[in-house]
Amino acid sequence: MGQHQQMVKAVFTTKLSPGYDDLPELYYHFPRVYLRRVEQTLGDSIVYYEPRRGTAELSSRGGRQSYFAIARPHAIRDDPVRPDHFYCDVRDYLDFDGPVHFRDGDEYRESALRRDDGQTNKGAFGHSVRLMPDEEFEAILAAGLSGPPLQAPVAAPEGPYMGVEELSVPFERPMVELTTIRPFRDLAFRRSVRAAYDNRCAVTGLRLINGGGRPEVQAAHIRPVADHGPDSVRNGLALSGTIHWLFDRGLLSVADDMTIMKAEGKLPAEMERLINANGRLNLPTDRAYWPHPAFLAHHRETYFKG
């Protein structure tokens, strides 16, 4: 495998139900035709794009035609099963606040997708891996990671940064650099998870708002950050404080069918009464944000005391 000469930014295309063996939060699966392009991205950053086709079926529709996350490619490995295919392992995955459409009015966010006559360049769109200039990449990030004003004080997230009163970030720093700062990532993750679950606890259904108008629900990682868990809504649950504590300590978990699992004999009776009567999670309206089975399986196998 050749060495890349110059790091560049790119778009990686993936579907909600991919035909390739993708788990975008952790790795991207691709054929040899894109090997050189993917090599050039190692050590730099990519954005993920979801096309019109939501599955591998040619007739499928329903894809958002939008950029939805950033990640950092860091290694390529051979697919041990499928000849001439590879995996690109990624780090620092972060969901956007919301999907960013490939067009902003009449303007294309990737200039290579626009023909001279102003129409869409379908040939360029057909490439699953597309290299792009830094300025276009940065503009997509700015649209996808809006958040609070970057120079204004913002509330600290739950978790290791509790007790920090504010976080100030100089506006002049490129957005791509901000995505490497842990407090910024925590804030973006919390914002995305809360929005996906409409500020409602997935386990109890409670939607509590404090006196200042702020939601009390927390954003919990299913696979913890300390255990290489990504900052993906699909690796998150909106949970009230007590339920978050129980989940982190393995007294609660979730089955692949979204049934809530309880550690037998270890859950206080008053806690059991808070759990949804139907025994299932309250899930986001958008299925793209449902917990991914890979992260749920990791929690059950590693942390659940059932």
Distance CA 39, CA 23 (A): 19
Q: What domains, with CATH codes, occur in the chain?
A: 9-144 (3.10.590.10), 192-302 (no CATH)
Backbone angles phi, psi at 182, to 5 degrees: -60, -45
- Mean pLDDT, range 157-180, rounded to an integer: 56
For 100-118, write each residue's pLDDT tens digit. Answer: 999 998 899 999 998 888 8
- Mean pLDDT, range 120-143, rounded to an integer: 92
Would you state the pLDDT for residue 4? 42
- Whether 5 shows a pLDDT value over 60: the answer reads no
Closest CA to 252 of 204, 194, 195, 215: 204
Would you state the pLDDT for residue 177? 84
The reported pTM is 0.84
- Whether 36 shows a pLDDT value over 90: the answer reads yes
Please name the residue that has the structure tokens 């996808």. 144
For 63-92, write each residue's pLDDT tens digit. Answer: 789 999 999 999 999 999 999 999 999 999
Please name the residue that has the structure tokens 């997509």. 140
CB 140 within 8 A of CB 134: no
Would you state the pLDDT for residue 61? 53
- Whether 143 shows a pLDDT value over 90: the answer reads yes
- Whether 249 shows a pLDDT value over 80: the answer reads yes
Apex CA 214: angle with CA 100 and CA 244, to 5°?
A: 85
- Whether 56 shows a pLDDT value over 60: the answer reads no
According to DSSP, the β-strands at 27-31 and 85-101 are antiparallel
Percentage above 70 pLDDT, the chain: 86
